[in-house]
Structures are given as structure tokens and as C-alpha cells.
Amino acid sequence: MTYSRRMSSRHPGCIVLLIDQSASMAEPIAGDAARRPRAMALAAAADQLLDELVQRCLDKSGRVMPWCDIAAIGYGGHGVRSLLQRPALQLDASADPARVFVSTADLDSYAETVPGTGDPLAPSRRWIQPVSDGVTPMVEAFTVTVALVSRWVAAHPESFPPVVLHITDAQFNTGDPTPQATALTNLRTADGSVLLFNLHLSGNAAEMIEYPAHPPQVGDEFATWLYQVSSPIPPQLAETSLFPLEKGARGFVLNGGAASLLRFFMWGTPGRVI
Amino acid sequence: MRLHCDVVCVPRPDGIDPRGQDAYGFDERAGLVAVCDGAGSLFAAGDWARCLVRRFVADPEPLLYGDPGPWVAAAAADWRAGLDLDTAGDRVRRAAAGGSGATIAAIRGVPHPDGYRLDVAAVGDTFVFVVRRGLLCLAHPPLPGDTFPARPQLVTTSDPDPPARTSVELQPGDTIAIATDATARWVTGRGATFWPELATLPADRLAHALARRRDEGEIADDDLTLVRCHLR
């Protein structure tokens, strides 16, 4: 029975946010009344996800359990960086997972406090800075991710497999990352293969396609590529979906806007297994 | 005649609470039994499950026969009182505001001049099974087939889903088994030949079998709870 291991101190989970921070992320995101730049909407949604993960690992005394290791990796004109550390940590394939992954138990200590909104129950922490700069070194980002995740998997062979949530708005332009993406999804623990879910951000009103079971027929090679490297959604996760999924649906969203971004984060995170 | 109960309870070894997030309670003289399964992704769900069980054993009628709204509100007040919110940090206060949830199955045995009736109420995927002469003669709520619901109905601290209620006449020698979802899924997946075993296997052997199968991955990585009641 795969994809059934619940996250725990002994068998923590692993979530990697892989975030495009290239120049085009400065453009407005679709479906956002405030017309925020994609980088800003993405940072806000990622912060919400990180906050929610900590909340899910909370016991009644306020102790946060070390049930999940998190990495946030950004790629753009600055290269590939780990975004949770201050300053952001430059990464290459030799990166040490112990310096990049942050346990849910420690995540709050990496956050900045946001000025109060007047609502004592509103989230008040920020982890991800919005950045938009330069090229799209996706191949380098996937290379680093494969290296980090493979070491994490070796150290946690019985855990729920890592989930990589990749958000991009553009074509890769420093090489073809297909071998790296394939290598990533070939990694596995005893509980299943690594899950790679991709979300393509859009600034226009083009038709959004969420979690398709067939390649999108939109005449866009990049969309087809993203679909092909996206993991099929395991039935154990599909059954927790709040909306119907076709059999064989993949973890892929095309032309997503602000709302789909948040849904992608919350849905792609295996909350049921925490 | 009255119910005689035994318990199989095998919490997850790595869970947030060493007691697990399932809870059970019974009063054999009053014929009352409740089993709850705290929703794992919700805050202090084991505490909520224990509050519901205590509330049922002390005051069973609203869940079985009446409006469960005030009954749930009283249990929720117990739950909040146990959280020490005055000194809690922002995360605990936010989590408490979000509330908690659990499934429940509860029974009351009612002797009457012609026999013995079992009244049952359940919310979600904690199940009551009645086994008679080795055959399953009641599953309540009705079994969902191959796939148990990923998002079962819950008794939440704020908005309870309505209980599914039923009654059945029992006979001497009947066994009632109340099981949380992972145990129920395993029990029902073993086929008709297992029902006599379920009724007669000593509790310690059943607990050992459940723990071993969970370790081997045959049973979901979850708390496992089963309360058995024999009518005699």
C-alpha cells in the first residue's frame, strides 16, 4: 500500500517548493483584483502554505512537531537559492540537505513577523520574499532539487515520498531539464515515488486547465512538456480532492491564477497523511 | 442480560499523543458504549474525541434520540476548557478557533420485557457491527463498499453533522463490535469467514494481530480501536 505513510517524527515528510523567480514574474497575475505581480502573489501563497503546515503539526501545548522537512528553492537571474535562510543560500548540486531543509518544528524561527492587521487570529509570519530577476535556469534548479531530494530519500527510506511543488510562468532557457525532471520522479521511498506537481502561472485570461488526464491541446510545447513531467496523482491523494478528478489526472495546472495557486499549494500538500 | 465489554486499542506509535486520537468509553451497567476517532489533521483531535466519549457516557440521550446541537456545544466547552487558552500563544489560539472534529459511533442497550434492544447513533466512518452466530447481521452506518470516504462526516466543535440512527433487537450471545475506520476497513475486508473469529478471538491476540498487520503495511498507519460487547 503506497502513499499511505503518515508523517511523524520517526518518518517525517518532505515538501519542496520550487519557485521560478525570473524577470517575467514581475508581470501581473491573472485573476487578482489588485493586479499583484506574480512573484508577490506566489510569495503570499507560499507563506500561507508554510503557515498552514506549521499549524497542522501543532500539539495542544503549542509545541510544533518535526513531522515535515521543507525546502523553498528559487531560481532566476541570481542562480539557484534556498529561500528560507537569511540571506538566501546559494545552491549547487553539492548542497547539503541539512543546511537547506527546515523542519516544521523550526520553521517559525526562519520567519519574519508581519505588522499586525488588528486581527489576533490572522497569520503574522512571512518566509518568502517576492523576487523577479533575469533568466529561467530551470535545468540548474532541477539539478539541485534532484541532488537534495535524493539525499533526503536516502536518509528517510520509509517516509511518505517527497512532494515537489514547482511554479513557473515561462519556458526554460538554459537547457532542457527533462532528464533531471525524470530523475526526480524516479526517486522513491518504500512508500512511493517522488511526486512532482507543476503549476504554470498566467497573466492573461487564457483558459485554465487543472489536473488534466490528457496532454493539453493548446499548441504549446512547453505546456505539453510540463504535463508530461508531472506525476500522476496517486489514488490515495485523489480521493481527498474537493473536486472530481478524472482517472489518470496529473498534478499539473496550466494558466493558473491567484486562486488556483493557493488551491494547488493546499491540495498538493498531503495533509491527510499528517 | 447485559453487555460485557472488552477493548482492543493500538495507538500509532509515532502519533502526536501517545494515547492516540481514538477514544472509547463504556458503562456496562447502563449499556452505554461510545468510540470516537479524532480527525488526524485537526487540532487536539484526541482531546475532542475523549470529550465526546465522556459526554456520551454521562448524557447519552441527545445523541441517540434528540437534538445533538446543545450536547455538542457542551462537549466543545469542555474541550476549550482543557486547552489553557489564557496563556497560549497565537498559533494555539488560532488552532483552537478553527476547532476540531471526530467521528463517533455510540450504542445504548435497552432491556425490555420481550428482550433487549440496541439503539445506535453514528457520525462518520466509525462503525457498529452486530455479529450473530458467526454472521454479520448489522453494519451501521451502512458499509461504503471498497472505498471508505476520504472526508467522512464529523462531529465538529462548531457544527455537527446529523447522526445516523438505527435500532436492532439483540439476542443472547450476540456480539457487538464498534470499530474506528482503519480497524473496520481491515475487518470488513477479511470476508465473511472472519466474523466468528472477531467475536471470539481473545482481545490480546486481536491487538497483536492488528499491530503486526499495521507494521507490515496491510492496515493503514492509523490508531486502531475496537470495543467488543457480548450480550449475556
Q: Which of A19, A17, A105, A110 is nearest to A68 (CA)?
A: A105
Per the CB < 8 Å rule, is B94 touching A271? no
Which residue in the set A64, A120, A271 is minimally distant from B41, CB to CB?
Answer: A271
Contacts of B222 in chain A (CB under 8 A): 6
Q: Would you state the pLDDT for residue A219?
A: 77
Q: Average pLDDT, stretch A44-62?
A: 89
Find out whether B56 and B49 touch, Cβ atoms under 8 Å: no
Domains of chain A: 13-273 (3.40.50.410)
Angle between helices A178-186 and A221-229 in degrees, nearest 10? 20
Q: Would you state the pLDDT for residue A238?
A: 80
Look at residue A205 and tell me whether its pLDDT is greater than 60.
no
pLDDT band at A126 (very low <50, low <70, confident <90, very high): very high
Look at residue A30 and tell me whether its pLDDT is greater than 90.
no
pLDDT band at A203 (very low <50, low <70, confident <90, very high): low
Contacts of B16 in chain A (CB under 8 A): 59, 65
Q: What's the mean pLDDT when you consider all of chain A?
A: 88
Pick the more confident residue, A71 or A121. A71
Using the structure block, give the residue that is written with the C-alpha cell 535545468.
Answer: A139
Per the CB < 8 Å rule, is A62 touching B91? yes
Q: For A44, phi and psi rounded to 5 degrees? A: -65, -45
Q: Which amino acid is at B133?
A: R
Give ipTM to 2 decimals: 0.83
Tell me: the pLDDT tens digits for A157-197? 999 999 999 999 877 888 899 999 999 999 999 999 999 99
From A5, which residue of chain B is nearest by alpha-carbon distance?
A: B221
Look at residue A125 and tell me whether its pLDDT is greater than 70.
yes
Provide the residue-wise pLDDT of chain B in tens; the chain has 232 residues. 899 999 999 998 877 778 899 999 999 999 999 999 999 888 999 999 999 999 999 999 999 999 999 999 999 999 999 998 888 888 999 999 999 999 999 999 999 999 999 999 999 999 999 999 999 999 999 887 766 777 789 999 997 789 999 999 999 999 999 999 999 988 888 888 889 988 899 999 999 999 999 988 888 888 999 999 999 8
Per the CB < 8 Å rule, is B44 touching A60? yes
| Segments making up each domain of chain B, as ranges | 3-231
Largest CA distance in chain A: 54
Q: Would you state the pLDDT for residue A273?
A: 44
Using the structure block, give the residue that is written with the C-alpha cell 481527498.
Answer: A240
**B5: β partners:** B229
DSSP annotation of B133: T
Contacts of A55 in chain B (CB under 8 A): 43, 91, 94-95, 98
Per the CB < 8 Å rule, is A56 touching B41? yes
pLDDT > 70 fraction of chain A, expressed in percent and rounded? 92
Find out whether A244 and A189 touch, Cβ atoms under 8 Å: no
State the Cα–Cα distance between residues B86 and B93, nearest whole angstrom: 9
Q: Would you state the pLDDT for residue B210?
A: 92
Give the three-class secondary structure for A51: helix
CB within 8 Å of A118: residues ≥ 6 apart: none
Q: Which of A268, A47, A40, A234 is nearest to A165 (CA)?
A: A268
Contacts of A124 in chain B (CB under 8 A): 90
> Rounded to whole angstroms, what are the CA distances from A247 to A24, A161, A239, B168?
34, 21, 11, 40
Tell me: the pLDDT tens digits for A60-116? 899 999 999 999 999 999 999 999 999 999 999 999 999 999 999 999 999 998 877
Q: Which of residues 177-236 of A touch B (CB under 8 A)?
A: none
Q: Average pLDDT, stretch A29-52?
A: 87
Give the residue numbers in B contacting A (CB under 8 Å), as ranges. 12-17, 40-41, 43-44, 47, 82-83, 88-95, 97-98, 147, 150-151, 217-218, 220-222
Contacts of A158 in chain B (CB under 8 A): none
State the Cα–Cα distance between residues A156 and A26, nearest whole angstrom: 37
Q: For A272, phi and psi rounded to 5 degrees? A: -65, -25
Give the closest-approach CA distance of B83 to chain A in angstroms. 7
Q: Would you state the pLDDT for residue A169?
A: 86
Tell me: the pLDDT tens digits for A207-233? 788 899 999 888 778 888 999 999 999
pLDDT band at A274 (very low <50, low <70, confident <90, very high): very low
Look at residue A268 and tell me whether its pLDDT is greater than 60.
no
User: If you write DSSP's letter for every residue of A117-175 in order, what string do you get?
Assistant: -S-TTS--EE-PPP---S---HHHHHHHHHHHHHHHHHH-TTSPPPEEEEEESS---SS
Find out whether A272 and B148 touch, Cβ atoms under 8 Å: no
Size of interface A-B (CB pairs under 8 A): 65
Alpha helices in chain A (DSSP H): 38-56, 97-100, 138-155, 178-186, 221-229, 235-238, 258-268
Q: What is the pTM of this model?
A: 0.88
Q: Tell me, which fold does domain B3-231 have in CATH?
A: Phosphatase 2c; domain 1 (3.60.40)
Q: Which of A78, A73, A89 is nearest to A16 (CA)?
A: A73
Pick the more confident residue, A261 or A28. A28
